[in-house]
Amino acid sequence: MNTLSGTELRSGATVPTLGQGTWHMGESASGEAAEVASLRRGLDLGLALIDTAEMYGSGRAERVVAKAVSGRRNEAYIVSKVLPSNASGRKVREACERSLRHLGIEQMDLYLLHWRGRIPLAETVTAFEDLKAEGKIGAWGVSNFDTDDMEELMAVPGGSNVAANQVLYNLDSRGIEHDLLPWCQKRGVAVMAYSPLDEGRLLRDARLAAFAAARGLTGAQAALSFVLSRPGVIAIPKTSSAERAQENVEAAERILMPEDLSELDRLFPPPEGKRPLAMI
């Protein structure tokens, strides 16, 4: 596996299996230059998918992305998310247009409902489909949807056009492996794994450190390689360091052998039954 390998979305687009997250970006003016540099270095390395959201820094993360992709729009696959409070027909349009302004682009490649709220799914899907028809978004998806949510979504008009479901997934949070991940894989819905390093907590895990060292990997590389070993899964780690971006790319180039995955199962056991969908 390498950074040029990709996952084909239901929309027909093929995106890299390793992208870049932006959660917590834009929260400090002093860190912005490093954040922009990290994202641009990621683009240099082929990490075309950049994930953000209107919620992140109240739009400031989207503005960081705008600076990173300035002059390089054709190299980037940009994903943003709408808050559930903005998921009604009129508000979806307003939120999308606001995010496009923040991002400095004319079309978002993928637009996600950040999590379920009180707005009926049918209303949100209709708004997404309208935005797609108008060329404001290339495709749409959801985030933090469990299996029953996905089944309900598929049952509404246009719901089968869902391209992706972004959920928490990492070595220490493997609940989706019981039913949600196989459900999405069977139907061709890409799973975008956010916090694949568990917000850095896995990097302090002695079990992972020993596993990685024995294989000439860093802890981050081992954790990312595990997530990327799953078909149809896209990992979107966030880093504000250009050096860490390079480290992440090297993780995508390392293939874990069956015996490695078995050892990780021993160290970080997979779920034995259904678990509530974990969220951060």
Closest C-alpha among 139, 135, 86 to residue 114: 86
Structure tokens at 71: 């002059």
Domain boundaries, the chain: 15-267
One pLDDT digit (tens) per residue for the chain, 280 residues: 334 478 888 888 888 899 999 999 999 889 999 999 999 999 999 999 999 999 999 999 999 999 999 999 999 999 999 999 999 999 999 999 999 999 999 999 999 999 999 999 999 999 999 999 999 999 999 999 999 999 999 999 999 999 999 999 999 999 999 999 999 999 999 999 999 999 999 999 999 999 999 999 999 999 999 999 999 999 999 887 778 888 889 888 888 999 999 999 999 999 999 999 999 8
Closest C-alpha among 194, 5, 169, 204 to residue 212: 204
The answer to whether 114 is annotated as binding is yes
* Cα-based angle 110, 113, 117 (whole degrees, multiple of 5): 175
Catalytic option among 56, 77, 111, 194:
56
77 is catalytic: no
Sign of torsion, CA 279 147 177 17? negative
Given a contact cutoff of 8 angstroms between Cβ atoms, the answer to whether 62 and 103 are in contact is yes
Residue whose entry in the numeric block shows the structure tokens 């390998």: 5
Distance, in Å, from the CA atom of 15 to the CA atom of 27, rounded to the nearest integer, reads 27
Alpha-carbon separation of residue 230 from 3, 140, 212, 222, 266 (angstroms): 15, 22, 18, 13, 17
Q: Which CATH architecture is the domain 15-267 placed in?
A: Alpha-Beta Barrel (3.20)
3-class DSSP assignment, residue 118: coil
Query: Which residue type sits at 71?
Result: G
Residue 18: what are its φ and ψ, rounded to 5°? -125, 125
